[in-house]
Amino acid sequence: MLDLTKYESLGAALRDAVARWPDEVCLIEADREREKSRLTYRQFQEAAEPLAAALEDSGFAAGDRAAIIMTNQPKWLISAYAVFFAGGVVVPLDYKLSAKEHLQLLAHSKSKVLFVEYPLWRAITQAADFSALAVQTVLVTEAPPNVGLAGARRWEEFHAARAPEFRLRSRQDMACIVYSSGTGGRPKGCVLTHGNYLEQCRALTALYPFWPGVRYLSILPTNHAIDFMVGFIGPFTCGATVVHLRTLRPEFVREAFTRYKITYMSLVPLVLGNLQKGLQQRFAELPPLKRKIFNALLAANKRLTRRRPNLALSRRLLKQVHQAFGGELRALFVGGAFTEPQTLQFFYELGIQVANGYGLTEAGTAVTLNDFNPVRTDTVGRPLPGVELRIAEPDAEGIGEVAVRSNTVMSHYLDDPELTAETIVDGWLMTGDFGRIDDAGHLQLLGRKKNMIVTSEGKNIYPEDIENSFAGLAVKEYCIFAANFVWPQRSMVGEQLVLVLHPETGRAVDDALRAEISRRNMHLLNYKRVSGYVVWDRDFPRTASMKIKRAVLAEEIGKALDRAAVVSL
Amino acid sequence: MNVIVKTIEQTTEEILTLAATHFKVPRAGLQASDDFYKKLGIDSLQALELLTRLENHFGVELPDYEVQGVSDFSTLASRIQARL
């Protein structure tokens, strides 16, 4: 791989990567069972540099920002490469947000350029606030012929014949603005520097190396911090191949493993759990004799890999299982949310390493990772090289807020010095998660300090962001909490949102109100829905500017009501 | 050539029947306006499974992004109808 200590920016490292491995395949795009395109690093460069030149010709300057709203596909990476080459800042936006949310984040990030897929652009042009869009250049991919583009240009036609000027950036310069939450409330744009990413990439590839011939399967969108790192920067700086599969459907994911002989893949706990269920079902359907043999081999593998993994041995003992994953799988990276220990154990016993760790957008990608020395499924592993962890204000059992210090911690929140000062204290990033560090140096996570939930799909949900969806309810006041924020539990699983209703004096929560709540709830995306409500008959404590004092209210409710008081919706 | 075009009502009815069969719930308990996540008790991957079944039935292809944010049968029916 490239020696990343020698580089000042992602642009410089990526530029050298494409020059170093010109004939290696860098990108494969597959949709279901069809392969749509295949690019070598040379072809990638030939697609990206004319785009960089055209960006420069359009007035895009060093330090300018370019947002990308796309599913996981090669044009995402080609566009990002062009932006970095031209000295720009990439703003990766989640394509699953609504058009209204996209417009809010485009405005907040002050993006000058937008790269967007046609169906997503069409939705943005139909949003109520579209006229306020201030982006100078919009480049739309895969637009059908003869459709209006509302002032945007076709990505495929946007290129200049001249060689672009490579623009130097330093490690301290902004590389990406990544939104960790919030559109309804306060957008949190994490400013990550070139140095943050280069250091993160070095630490991760030391544990999970890439090299030419390695094939990484990408099913997560590249705006996701994990895919950006292990599905772009990591493989590219090592000459490896990224396979983009443009569907999440389990049957095609399974097929891609064998067709492309995948080495690594990232997924969220929901998909990992689905793989587990599928395998368990297949094991259960084995005829009695085969099942007996399989169980014996499984027991042998379990015994022989108790202390540390032995991939070659596991591949021999459990050949059919490993063949189903293509036969060359080295690890699955799981992230975005908490993974059940029993799921990690299940895969470990099959000889499939699941790299489970702990990360947050504010700290790059990952700050801890399990190292299988020996396997521990009850923790999120030890700190990565260069990462320091401490537990702030620990209680008698050593549990307190996890704090992180590392070269991978973001520079600041965009345009929010107050929030930055609350979050990065004396050089330590306060994570808002509770945990403890055991004698072996492993971090164990034990709940959240923050009023938020993370779904098994890896979605961070902040209650304030969805409160607007219940505006105008026939109650005196209402708010939404993460249930664990009101009734703390030392757990990161099964998190739920609860609506707190303060009815008008003398009124109860009747069927009509319940029906209205259910109706509003239905309009939210499935993972953003509240699961129940509680009735609270006292005025909400508020600040002078009438904002709800959430922490105070949560404490009052937690003391007065039991969690069982939540009425399911 | 005669092209038989399904009405949106027919499409919706066929979707409800397929969903009931696939997830083993009584057809009578499903309505077009229902939220399929809630009514069928499924997650987003199971919803994609359903989508594959529907694609095979209707002979159309629905990219994953087309159903992002869709959670009720009638919107799903209109997305399929638009591609028939």
> What string of pLDDT tens digits covers the 569 residues of chain A?
999 999 999 999 999 999 999 999 999 999 988 999 999 999 999 999 999 999 999 999 999 999 999 999 999 999 999 999 999 999 999 988 889 989 999 999 999 999 999 989 999 999 999 999 999 999 999 999 999 999 999 999 999 999 999 999 999 999 999 998 654 567 899 999 999 999 999 999 999 999 999 999 999 999 999 999 999 999 999 999 999 999 888 889 999 999 999 999 999 888 899 899 989 999 999 999 999 999 999 999 999 999 999 999 999 999 999 999 999 999 999 988 888 899 999 999 999 999 999 999 999 889 999 988 888 999 999 999 999 999 999 999 899 999 999 999 999 999 999 999 999 999 999 999 999 999 999 999 988 888 888 887 777 788 887 888 898 899 999 999 999 889 988 777 778 899 999 998 888 889 999 999 988 888 787 778 899 999 999 999 988 777 888 889 999 999 999 999 999 98
Nearest to A80 by CA among A148, A131, A10, A137: A10
DSSP string, B40-77: HT--HHHHHHHHHHHHHHHT----GGGGTT--BHHHHH
Instruction: Decide: A13 and A2 in contact? Cβ < 8 Å.
Output: yes
A459-568 topology per CATH = GMP Synthetase; Chain A, domain 3 (3.30.300)
Task: Give the residue from chain A lying closest to B37, CA to CA.
Answer: A526
Q: How far is CA A342 from CA A296, A335, A348, A517, in A?
A: 20, 16, 10, 36
pLDDT of A457 reads 74
Burial of A310 (0-12, 13-18, 19+ CB in 10 A): middle
Residues whose CB falls within 8 Å of the CB of residue A220, separated by 6 or more in sequence, listed in order: A72, A226, A227, A231, A266, A267, A268, A336
Structure tokens at A60: 């895009």
Instruction: Decide: A94 and A182 in contact? Cβ < 8 Å.
Output: no
B68 touches chain A (CB under 8 A): yes
A4-260 topology per CATH = Rossmann fold (3.40.50)
Amino acid letter, B1: M
Structure tokens at A262: 């995948």
Q: Structure pTM?
A: 0.87
Amino acid letter, A66: A
Cα torsion through A193, A198, A199, A203, rounded to 10 = 140
Would A4-260 and A268-448 be classified into the same CATH topology? yes
Instruction: Decide: A207 and A47 in contact? Cβ < 8 Å.
Output: no
Q: CB A96 to CB B68 under 8 A?
A: yes
Going from N- to C-terminal start, the domains of chain B cover 8-81
Instruction: Decide: A454 and A420 in contact? Cβ < 8 Å.
Output: no
Tell me which residues of chain A, numbers 228 to 257, contact chain B at a CB-CB cutoff of 8 Å: 246-251
Tell me how far apart the alpha carbons of residues A470 and A370 are, in angstroms, rounded to a whole number: 41
Test mutation, B31, B45, B75, B76, chain A, max A CBs within 10 A: B45
pLDDT of B37 reads 86
Tell me how far apart the alpha carbons of residues A273 and A341 are, in angstroms, rounded to a whole number: 11
**List of chain B residues whose C-beta atoms are within 8 Å of the C-beta of residue A73:** none
Tell me how far apart the alpha carbons of residues A75 and A92 are, in angstroms, rounded to a whole number: 13
Tell me how far apart the alpha carbons of residues A555 and A13 are, in angstroms, rounded to a whole number: 50
B8-81 topology per CATH = 1.10.1200
Residues whose CB falls within 8 Å of the CB of residue A71, separated by 6 or more in sequence, listed in order: A95, A117, A221, A246, B64, B65
- The H or E element that residue A535 is part of is strand A532-535
Per the DSSP assignment, residues forming a β-bridge with A127 are none
For β-strands A331-334 and A264-267, DSSP reports them as: parallel
Residues whose CB falls within 8 Å of the CB of residue B70, separated by 6 or more in sequence, listed in order: B76, B79
Asked if residue B77 has pLDDT above 90, the reply is yes
The CATH code that applies to domain A268-448 is 3.40.50.12780
For β-strands A113-117 and A153-154, DSSP reports them as: unpaired
**List of chain B residues whose C-beta atoms are within 8 Å of the C-beta of residue A122:** none
Distance from CA of B74 to the nearest CA of A (A): 13
Going from N- to C-terminal start, the domains of chain A cover 4-260, 268-448, 459-568
A98 touches chain B (CB under 8 A): yes
Backbone angles phi, psi at A91, to 5 degrees: -115, 95
B72 touches chain A (CB under 8 A): yes
Backbone angles phi, psi at A319, to 5 degrees: -55, -45
A130 touches chain B (CB under 8 A): no
Which of the four pLDDT bands, split at 50, 70 and 90, describes residue B45?
A: confident
Q: CB B66 to CB A120 under 8 A?
A: no
Instruction: Decide: A33 and A43 in contact? Cβ < 8 Å.
Output: no
